[in-house]
């Protein structure tokens, strides 16, 4: 059995796992992501690999931001990183192991494709609803990263010309309506403008510092008008994007992941499918819109799949 490591680096936490030939997690642990820059992250990854009960044959990394040739470009939510950083090369040197690096949502979509809700798909879109809105693509049975490593940026499809301000600096992106950070800003602006909502009260009662998926779920259950209005707008933006990508790529599977997907389950996927249908030129009863199955583990499983591919096809590594 060949055991490889998969590490999903997020803005707050890192999930690290050892993964076997069947894409099953045989060991996993969470760590805090160092906020002080790439050197600290390199040290943390080296420590993680050293603490595995078994030395992996290779290591795969998922990280926010575009990745091309192992170079990470402007990773969002990671403080004190330069515009470009050769993460794969630095880790290969530090670990003395084959290392592959990919965008975190591309990698999570890959995890779902090899071992989760995307199994058997040939043309798949993964959509992850979190602080932002990310995406990943499988096209003709192969992960698709694009010419420069930036493919799959579903959250930055424009759905409203001149619309809401997005964190990327543009207006009208899906993320400006459906990302958790954008939703929180919309709530704050609405409250400052005199709207009332139970969202903030629920957040305080739960002891949260953010409007988490559980806070939204409770407010929606109570019929909170502002929460309902903003959530409806978020789903509409996601559905327009899904319909547009289906029109462009003729997908056979859409996998929805992230905290909201875990909280609302297949009902959320069904609603997105129904709202995407009017935007889809060629509806197809065989197309599936489903919820991710692997939860937090999808990124680690996908990162490990990258590492395993590097072992099988070393000439493709780089």
Domain ranges within the chain, ordered by starting residue: 4-109+296-316, 121-291
Same fold: 4-109+296-316 with 121-291: yes
pLDDT at 314: 62
User: What is the rounded CA–CA span in Å between residue 67 and residue 101?
Assistant: 7
pLDDT at 1: 87
User: What is the rounded CA–CA span in Å between residue 288 and residue 229?
Assistant: 27
Which range has highest mean pLDDT (74-78, 239-243, 281-285)?
239-243
CATH architecture of 121-291: 2-Layer Sandwich (3.30)
pLDDT at 28: 96
pLDDT at 76: 83
Residue pLDDT, tens place only, 155-214: 999 999 999 999 999 999 999 999 999 999 999 999 999 999 999 999 999 999 999 999
Among candidate residues 26, 43, 32, the one with its CA nearest the CA of residue 9: 32
Is domain 4-109+296-316 classified as CATH 3.30.420.40?
A: yes
pLDDT at 315: 53
Name residue 134's beta-bridge partners.
128
Looking at every residue in the chain, the average pLDDT score rounds to 95
Handedness of CA 95, 96, 102, 107 (dihedral sign): negative
Residue pLDDT, tens place only, 52-91: 999 999 999 999 989 999 999 988 888 899 999 999 999 9
Higher pLDDT among residues 90 and 130, named by residue: 90
pLDDT at 79: 87
CB 60 within 8 A of CB 6: yes
CB 251 within 8 A of CB 289: no
CB 8 within 8 A of CB 107: yes
User: What is the rounded CA–CA span in Å between residue 66 and residue 264?
Assistant: 29
């Amino acid at each position: 059995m060949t055991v490889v490591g998969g590490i999903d680096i997020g803005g707050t936490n890192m999930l690290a796992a050892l993964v076997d030939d069947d894409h099953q997690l045989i060991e996993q642990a969470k760590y805090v992501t160092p906020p002080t820059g790439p050197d600290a992250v390199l040290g943390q990854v080296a420590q993680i690999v050293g603490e595995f009960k078994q030395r992996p044959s290779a290591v795969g990394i998922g990280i926010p931001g575009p990745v091309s040739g192992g170079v990470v470009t402007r990773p969002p939510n990671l403080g004190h990183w330069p515009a470009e950083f050769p993460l794969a090369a630095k880790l290969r040197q530090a670990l003395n192991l084959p290392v592959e690096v990919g965008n975190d949502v591309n990698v999570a979509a890959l995890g779902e494709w090899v071992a989760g809700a995307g199994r058997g798909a040939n043309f798949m879109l993964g959509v992850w609803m979190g602080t932002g809105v990310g995406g990943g693509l499988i096209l003709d049975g192969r992960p698709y990263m694009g010419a420069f490593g930036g493919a799959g940026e579903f959250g930055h499809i424009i759905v409203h010309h001149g619309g809401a301000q997005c964190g990327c600096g543009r207006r009208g992106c899906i993320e400006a309506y459906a990302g958790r950070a954008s939703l929180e800003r919309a709530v704050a602006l609405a409250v400052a403008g005199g709207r009332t909502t139970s969202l903030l009260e629920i957040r305080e009662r739960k002891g949260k510092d953010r409007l988490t998926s559980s806070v939204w779920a409770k407010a929606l259950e109570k019929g909170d008008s502002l929460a309902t209005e903003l959530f409806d707008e978020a789903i509409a933006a996601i559905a327009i994007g899904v319909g547009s990508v289906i029109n462009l790529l003729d997908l056979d599977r859409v996998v929805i992941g992230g905290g909201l997907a875990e909280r609302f389950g297949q009902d959320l996927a069904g609603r997105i499918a129904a709202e995407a249908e009017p935007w889809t030129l060629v509806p197809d009863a065989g197309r599936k819109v489903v919820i991710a199955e692997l939860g937090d583990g999808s990124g680690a499983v996908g990162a490990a799949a990258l590492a395993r591919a590097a072992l099988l096809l070393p000439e493709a590594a780089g």
